[in-house]
C-alpha cells in the first residue's frame, strides 16, 4: 500500500468516531480507536496460526504458566499470541463486553498489558452502557488489516496517522507526549546523517528515548536507518511515564512487528529501568521547564552519593526545570569512544543555554559537556512549533566521538527563519518545517561552514571566569544628633542595662560634632570618652557605635583591618566576567583599574575544580551571535508620520464639533 492509501485507511478507521459523537468527548476518541485498531491488527496477524495456538493451548493447559507461554509463542510464530477461540467477528451481540474482555485477557502478557494501560475495560463498559460496543466491534471486524494487505511498515504509518489525529483532537494533553513529526524528522536526520560507517550491512544498532511518549522518535529512527542502509537490525529502547502514551508506543511497535520488551513504564529520573545500558543513538524531547520536585530526593541522593559514577555528577539544575537532568541521563548512557561512541539529539527550550551564573548547577553541566567536547551543534528552531507551547526551542546534537574537523568546536545553526505557516493551527502549533527546509538545515550542518545561518566557535568562546572586584571602605564619623539617634536601633546597645545605655550616649555626645575622616583616630577618641564615663565595652557594642556614627565618604581615609590591609566595602563589591583563557590580572589592569584605581581582585574566590582565581561559568548566548542591528528610520520620516497622525486627529475633532 502506498502512503496515500495509508492515509485513506487511517481516515476510514478514524471515521468510527462518528459513532462516538455525543456520548464521548473528542479527546477520548483516540483512547477507543487506537486500542481497537491494535486489537484488529493483532487478530489479523495471528489468523494463520490461530488453529495451531488453540490446539497447543488445549494440549498444554496443565503446564506451568511460563512453560505454556513459551509453547504458545512457538505455535503462534509471533512475539505474541492469543489463546481465545473468540475473534471480533464472532463476539455475541448479547454479552459483547464480557466476551471482548475474555478475548483480550487471553493475549500473551506483553500484548495484554498494553490494553490494561489504555484502560480498555473502562472504555468497553462505557461503550456498552451507551449501546455502542457491538456497533464499534462490527466496524473494526470489517476492516482488513492483514499483513497481506497492509505491511508492518504500512501499519506503522496508519497507526502514526491515528496517533497524530488523536494528538490533534486532544492537543491540550496529548501534545505533552507527542512531538510534531516535522521536528522528529529534523532531529533524527541531524543525528543519523553521515553515519554510513556505523550502519554497515548485518550490523545491530541500538536507539533509546528516555521520554518515549507515543514512540515517534523510535519509529522515525527505525524508518531512517532502514532507508539509508541494508540489513541493519535496529533495537529500540525507551521509557515513558504516562501509561496511555506507553500503551500507544508499545502498540505502535507491536503492529510493526518490533520487539517491545525494551519499552518500559516509569519515571526515568527516579527509576531508570534500563540502568547500566549503553546505546548508539539517543533521541529525546523531554518536557520543557517542568519541575522535578517529586523526584528531588532520589536525584539529589544519586548526585551526592554516586557523583560521576551516577548520572548527575557535574551538578543539578534548579528544581523548577528538569530538562538538563534528561540530558545528563542520556550522556551517562553513551558508549565509550573505544566502542564507537554515541550520538544524542535532544530538544530543549532556551533556558538550558544560559540559565544560571558561574558556579550554578546549570553552568557546571554546560561546562562538563563543553569541556568534554560533547556539544557538536545547536539548532535554533522557529517559534510556535509545538502543540502545547509557542516558545523558542533548540535541538542539541551531542557526540562523544566527534569527527576530527569538529573537535574543540561548536556549530550554531539559526533555523528560526525556516518556518512555514500551517493552514490550520493545532493548539499552539501554528508553524511547521517543510521537508525541503529540513534538507537545507541538515545540509547546513553537514557543510560545517560559516554563513548567515551557521557559525562555528571554539568551545572556550562560551566560557568565562567571574572575578570579585573589591573596593576599599571609606567612612567619616561624627556625633551629630541625627547619628546619635541611630544608637537606639543597634541590637547590641539595646541589650545593655538602662544606666549603661545612658552613660554610653553621654560619652558619645561628649565627642561633639567634629567630623573624623579616619576610623582609627575616631576609635581612639571614642575609647577616651567611654573611659571618662567609667565604661568598659566589648567588641560587638564598639562595632555597633561605629556603625551608628559613620557614613560612607569617598574622600575619607581607607579603613584598614588588623593586618593593615584595606577593608572591602560590601556595597561597592562588583563582579566581572573575564573571557575564559585570558589572564584575570591582564583583564583587570585593562578594564577595571583605569576606572577605579583603588580596586583589587579578591583572590580568595577561587574555582572549585581548577583552584584558580575566579569562578568558571559557561553559557551559550545563541541569539547574540545571530543578532542583526536594524537602524531606526530617519527622523524626517518619523516626524512626517507624527504630523499625519496629528492632522488626522485634528480633522476628527473638527468633524465632531461641527
Confidence band for 175, pLDDT divided at 50, 70 and 90: very low
The pLDDT value recorded for residue 171 is 52
Q: How far is residue 225's CA from residue 208's CA, in Å, rounded to a whole number?
A: 14
Nearest to 336 by CA among 398, 281, 401, 403: 401
Q: What's this model's pTM, rounded to 2 decimal places?
A: 0.84
Alpha helices, H only, 497-599: 498-509, 519-532, 539-548, 584-591
How does DSSP classify residue 633? Answer: P
- pLDDT tens, 20-40? 888 888 888 888 999 999 999
The helix, strand and coil proportions of the chain, stated in percent and rounded to the nearest 5, come to: 50, 15, 35
The per-residue pLDDT of the chain, averaged, comes to 90
| Residue whose grid cell is 566502542 | 339
- pLDDT tens, 495-511? 988 888 899 999 999 98
The pLDDT value recorded for residue 456 is 97
List the chain domain ranges.
Answer: 1-169, 176-460, 475-552
- pLDDT tens, 245-270? 898 888 888 877 788 889 999 999 99
Classified as helix, coil or strand, 649 is helix
Does position 170 have pLDDT exceeding 70, yes or no?
A: no
Mark 195-205 as b/e (b = at least 16 C-beta within 10 Å): beebbeeeeeb
Given the candidates 3.90.1150.10, 3.20.20.210, 3.40.50.150, 3.30.460.10, the CATH classification of the domain at 176-460 is 3.40.50.150
β-strands 454-458, 409-414 pairing? antiparallel
Question: Residues 286, 291, 292, CA angle at the centre, nearest 5°?
Answer: 85
The pLDDT value recorded for residue 68 is 87
Q: Quick one: average pLDDT of 175-199?
A: 85
Residue 187 CA, chain-centre distance (Å), reads: 15
Does position 169 have pLDDT exceeding 90, yes or no?
A: no
- pLDDT tens, 563-610? 999 999 999 999 999 999 899 999 999 999 999 999 999 999 999 999
| Residue whose grid cell is 547590641 | 492
Q: How far is residue 71's CA from residue 59's CA, in Å, rounded to a whole number?
A: 10
Does position 3 have pLDDT exceeding 60, yes or no?
A: no
Does position 512 have pLDDT exceeding 70, yes or no?
A: yes
316 and 371 Cβ atoms separated by less than 8 Å: no
Is residue 499 classed exposed, middle or buried when 0-12, 13-18 and 19+ CB atoms within 10 A define those classes?
exposed
Instruction: Looking at the structure, give the CATH architecture of the domain made up of residues 1-169.
Output: Up-down Bundle (1.20)
The pLDDT value recorded for residue 173 is 45
199 and 232 Cβ atoms separated by less than 8 Å: yes
Q: How far is residue 151's CA from residue 145's CA, in Å, rounded to a whole number?
A: 9
> For the chain, how many helices (H) and strands (E)?
27, 17
Classified as helix, coil or strand, 136 is helix
Confidence band for 154, pLDDT divided at 50, 70 and 90: confident
| Residue whose grid cell is 573505544 | 338
Does position 181 have pLDDT exceeding 60, yes or no?
A: yes
Q: How far is residue 537's CA from residue 527's CA, in Å, rounded to a whole number?
A: 9
Highest mean pLDDT among 180-189, 211-220, 326-335: 326-335
Q: Quick one: average pLDDT of 286-291?
A: 86
Q: Quick one: average pLDDT of 440-452?
A: 95
Nearest to 127 by CA among 197, 24, 3, 214: 24
Nearest to 316 by CA among 377, 189, 327: 327
Quick one: what percent of the chain has pLDDT higher than 90?
62
Q: Quick one: average pLDDT of 426-446?
A: 91
Q: Quick one: average pLDDT of 101-106?
A: 93
The pLDDT value recorded for residue 167 is 73
Amino acid at each position: 500500500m502506498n502512503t496515500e492509501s495509508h492515509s485513506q485507511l487511517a481516515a476510514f478507521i478514524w471515521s468510527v468516531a462518528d459513532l462516538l459523537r455525543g456520548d464521548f468527548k473528542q479527546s477520548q476518541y483516540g483512547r477507543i480507536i487506537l486500542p481497537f485498531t491494535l486489537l484488529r491488527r493483532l487478530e489479523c496477524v495471528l489468523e494463520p496460526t490461530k488453529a495451531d495456538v488453540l490446539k497447543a493451548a488445549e494440549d498444554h493447559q496443565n503446564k506451568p504458566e511460563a512453560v505454556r507461554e513459551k509453547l504458545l509463542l512457538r505455535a503462534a510464530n509471533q512475539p505474541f499470541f492469543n489463546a481465545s477461540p473468540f475473534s471480533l467477528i464472532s463476539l455475541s451481540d448479547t454479552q459483547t463486553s464480557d466476551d471482548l474482555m475474555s478475548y483480550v485477557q487471553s493475549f500473551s502478557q506483553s500484548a495484554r498489558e498494553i490494553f490494561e494501560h489504555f484502560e480498555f475495560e473502562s472504555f468497553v463498559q462505557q461503550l456498552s452502557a451507551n449501546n455502542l460496543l457491538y456497533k464499534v466491534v462490527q466496524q473494526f471486524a470489517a476492516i482488513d488489516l492483514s499483513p497481506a494487505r497492509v505491511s508492518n511498515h504500512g501499519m506503522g504509518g496508519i497507526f502514526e496517522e491515528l496517533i497524530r489525529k488523536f494528538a490533534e483532537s486532544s492537543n491540550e494533553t496529548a501534545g505533552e507526549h507527542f512531538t510534531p513529526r516535522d521536528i522528529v524528522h529534523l532531529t533524527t536526520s541531524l543525528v543519523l546523517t553521515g553515519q554510513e560507517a556505523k550502519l554497515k550491512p548485518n550490523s545491530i544498532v541500538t536507539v533509546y528515548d528516555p521520554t518515549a511518549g507515543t514512540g515517534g522518535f523510535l519509529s522515525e529512527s527505525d524508518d531512517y536507518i532502514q532507508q539509508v542502509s541494508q540489513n541493519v537490525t535496529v533495537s529500540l529502547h525507551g521509557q515513558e511515564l504516562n501509561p496511555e502514551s506507553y500503551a500507544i508506543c508499545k502498540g505502535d511497535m507491536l503492529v510493526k512487528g518490533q520487539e517491545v520488551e525494551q519499552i518500559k513504564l516509569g519515571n526515568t529520573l527516579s527509576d531508570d529501568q534500563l540502568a547500566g545500558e549503553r546505546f548508539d543513538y539517543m533521541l529525546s524531547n523531554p518536557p520543557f521547564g517542568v519541575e522535578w520536585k517529586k523526584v528531588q530526593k532520589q536525584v539529589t541522593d544519586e548526585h551526592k552519593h554516586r557523583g560521576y559514577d551516577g548520572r548527575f555528577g557535574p551538578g543539578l539544575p534548579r528544581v523548577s526545570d528538569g530538562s538538563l537532568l534528561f540530558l545528563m541521563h542520556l550522556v551517562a548512557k553513551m558508549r565509550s569512544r573505544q566502542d564507537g561512541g554515541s550520538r544524542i539529539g535532544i530538544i530543549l527550550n532556551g533556558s538550558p543555554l544560559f540559565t544560571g551564573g558561574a558556579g550554578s548547577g546549570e553552568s557546571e553541566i554546560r561546562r562538563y559537556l563543553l569541556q568534554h567536547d560533547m556539544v557538536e551543534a545547536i539548532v535554533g528552531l522557529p517559534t510556535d512549533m509545538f502543540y502545547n507551547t509557542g516558545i523558542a526551542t533548540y535541538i542539541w546534537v551531542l557526540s562523544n566521538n566527534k569527527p576530527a574537523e569538529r573537535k574543540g568546536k561548536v556549530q550554531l545553526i539559526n533555523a528560526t527563519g525556516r518556518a512555514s505557516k500551517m493552514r490550520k493551527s493545532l493548539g499552539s502549533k501554528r508553524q511547521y518545517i517543510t521537508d525541503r527546509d529540513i534538507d537545507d538545515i541538515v545540509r547546513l550542518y553537514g557543510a560545517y561552514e560559516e554563513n548567515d545561518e551557521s557559525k562555528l566557535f571554539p568551545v572556550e568562546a562560551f566560557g568565562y571566569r567571574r572575578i570579585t572586584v573589591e573596593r576599599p571602605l571609606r567612612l567619616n564619623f561624627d556625633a551629630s544628633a541625627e547619628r546619635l539617634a541611630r544608637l537606639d536601633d543597634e541590637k547590641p546597645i539595646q541589650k545593655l542595662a538602662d544606666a549603661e545605655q545612658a552613660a554610653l550616649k553621654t560619652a558619645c555626645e561628649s565627642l561633639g560634632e567634629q567630623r573624623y575622616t579616619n576610623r582609627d583616630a575616631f576609635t581612639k577618641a571614642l575609647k577616651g570618652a567611654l573611659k571618662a564615663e567609667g565604661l568598659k565595652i566589648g567588641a560587638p557594642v564598639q562595632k555597633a557605635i561605629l556603625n551608628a556614627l559613620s557614613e560612607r565618604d569617598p574622600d575619607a581615609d581607607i579603613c584598614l583591618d588588623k593586618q593593615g590591609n584595606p577593608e572591602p566595602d560590601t556595597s561597592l563589591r562588583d563582579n566581572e566576567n573575564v573571557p575564559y583563557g585570558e589572564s584575570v590580572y591582564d583583564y583587570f589592569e585593562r578594564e577595571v583599574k583605569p576606572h577605579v584605581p583603588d580596586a583589587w581582585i579578591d583572590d580568595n574566590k577561587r574555582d572549585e575544580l581548577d583552584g584558580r582565581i575566579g569562578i568558571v561559568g559557561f553559557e551559550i548566548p545563541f541569539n547574540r551571535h545571530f543578532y542583526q542591528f536594524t537602524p531606526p528610520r530617519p527622523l524626517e520620516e518619523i516626524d512626517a508620520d507624527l504630523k499625519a497622525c496629528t492632522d488626522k486627529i485634528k480633522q476628527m475633532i473638527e468633524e465632531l464639533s461641527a
